[in-house]
Amino acid sequence: MPSAPSRAPRPLAYWVIPQLPTADPLPMDEETETYLELYLDQCAVQDDFVPPRSPLFSPVVPYVYTPNPSNPETTFNSHLESKETSGNFSSVDLSFLPDELTQENKDQAVIRSKHETEENSETQSQQSRLPLPSGQDVGPGSDSSSLSNSRSHLHPGDANSIQSAPAKPNCNSSPLASITPMTPMTPVSECCGIVPQLQNIVSTVNLACKLDLKKIALHAKNAEYNPKRFAAVIMRIREPRTTALIFSSGKMVCTGAKSEEQSRLAARKYARVVQKLGFPARFLDFKIQNMVGSCDVRFSIRLEGLVLTHQQFSSYEPELFPGLIYRMVKPRIVLLIFVSGKVVLTGAKERSEIYEAFENIYPILKGFRKA
């Protein structure tokens, strides 16, 4: 967290602290440095230290957060606000709700407008980008963005990001240690070119108003409601292909998306549907609850060996389930490992956890490779 608003606004380029030997040998390309920068942004850097490398970043200007000289305090405060109240921040996501403008304060309005521009550039960019370990779906591809746009990239990035330390006020003792294994922006693991693909994201959001499920079911397309079976409306949309469970309390569960942004987008679409039906829907506390990834190591695995040597983490009952259930402690992920070599990873709240878990398990699996 940036330490205090009492400081004079300064270029918030929280750069690499000199004692970073690990960073050096790695091929640093634009994306890597951006990632590093953003990651460090979240850690308190006490000194206004600008390392010699900063000139390198001039071409990457869009990612340098320079406060608008005309209104430094406001933007700085907004930055802080967005960090501290990530929940509230997401409440201003609904760019299509003009009436919200009068309710929110000016600061949040500023943020929202930035976010709108982020929205636009987002939808323009491709969906099939390389999944970044930080979860940032804003890549260097949005070259056209102006400075204000880029600022908006930073903010929602910080607040929304699925990075390892999203809105945590304190940074880990060795933040770089945890990112070093994943430093290449393209999450190519060090040992193999296999990247787990996200298959399903479950998220929740609070629409913050009581809903009449019957009315929704009657007027909305693709909505099912069977109160005898289940006390929620089941709604589906085709793009992104997802399913939502909408409860009368206003809470909603969104499942089926293949990326964090898609999940958020889908959730917003559902919220819009509800809003169009006349309910004062908002978009509070959007949170990813679970992420599921899968990949294929492309060799057979001898599960009997694995269950014996990793007894305290694994359970393998082939007559119950054909896969071995491996409960990794750090990160806290559950992996389903199959004889064929397919691996399913679940229980993640952030994308990086999935990648990290796979990195951890891959060498172990290689050890039990079957012929």
Which residues of this chain interact with other proteins, rule CB under 8 A? 199-200, 202, 229-230, 232, 234, 242-243, 245, 255-256, 290, 292, 300, 302-305, 307-308, 311, 315, 317-322, 325, 334, 336, 339, 344, 346-347, 370-371
Q: How far apart are CA 371 and CA 317, in angstroms?
A: 23
Q: Omega into 240 within 30° of 0, i.e. cis?
A: yes
3-state secondary structure at position 241: coil
Length of the chain: 371
Q: State the nearest-atom distance from the C-beta of 305 to other proteins, in Å.
A: 5
For other proteins, give the closer residue by CB, 108 or 314.
314
Half-sphere exposure of 15 (CA within 13 A, CB side): 16
Helix 147-160 vs helix 72-84: angle between axes, to the nearest 10 degrees? 20
Q: State the nearest-atom distance from the C-beta of 213 to other proteins, in Å.
A: 14
User: Is there a contact between 183 and 31 (Cβ–Cβ < 8 Å)?
Assistant: no
For other proteins, give the closer residue by CB, 320 or 329.
320
For other proteins, give the closer residue by CB, 80 or 217.
217
For other proteins, give the closer residue by CB, 195 or 334.
334
Helical segments of the chain, H only:
30-41, 72-84, 86-91, 100-103, 106-124, 147-160, 175-179, 213-219, 260-276, 303-309, 351-367
Question: Which helix H or strand E contains 328, and what residues bound it?
Answer: strand 324-328
Q: State the nearest-atom distance from the C-beta of 311 to other proteins, in Å.
A: 8
Sign of CA dihedral 278, 283, 289, 291: positive
Other CB atoms within 10 A of residue 249 CB: 14
Helix 72-84 vs helix 106-124: angle between axes, to the nearest 10 degrees? 70
For other proteins, give the closer residue by CB, 165 or 337.
337
For other proteins, give the closer residue by CB, 250 or 323.
323
For other proteins, give the closer residue by CB, 58 or 228.
228
User: Is there a contact between 356 and 181 (Cβ–Cβ < 8 Å)?
Assistant: yes
For other proteins, give the closer residue by CB, 222 or 311.
311
Q: State the nearest-atom distance from the C-beta of 344 to other proteins, in Å.
A: 6
Q: State the nearest-atom distance from the C-beta of 296 to other proteins, in Å.
A: 16
Q: How far apart are CA 345 and CA 48, in angstroms?
A: 40
Other CB atoms within 10 A of residue 268 CB: 22
Q: State the nearest-atom distance from the C-beta of 241 to other proteins, in Å.
A: 10
Q: State the nearest-atom distance from the C-beta of 193 to other proteins, in Å.
A: 23
Q: State the nearest-atom distance from the C-beta of 187 to other proteins, in Å.
A: 21
Q: How far apart are CA 66 and CA 52, in angstroms?
A: 18
Q: State the nearest-atom distance from the C-beta of 163 to other proteins, in Å.
A: 23
For other proteins, give the closer residue by CB, 278 or 322.
322
Q: How far apart are CA 203 and CA 228, in angstroms?
A: 25
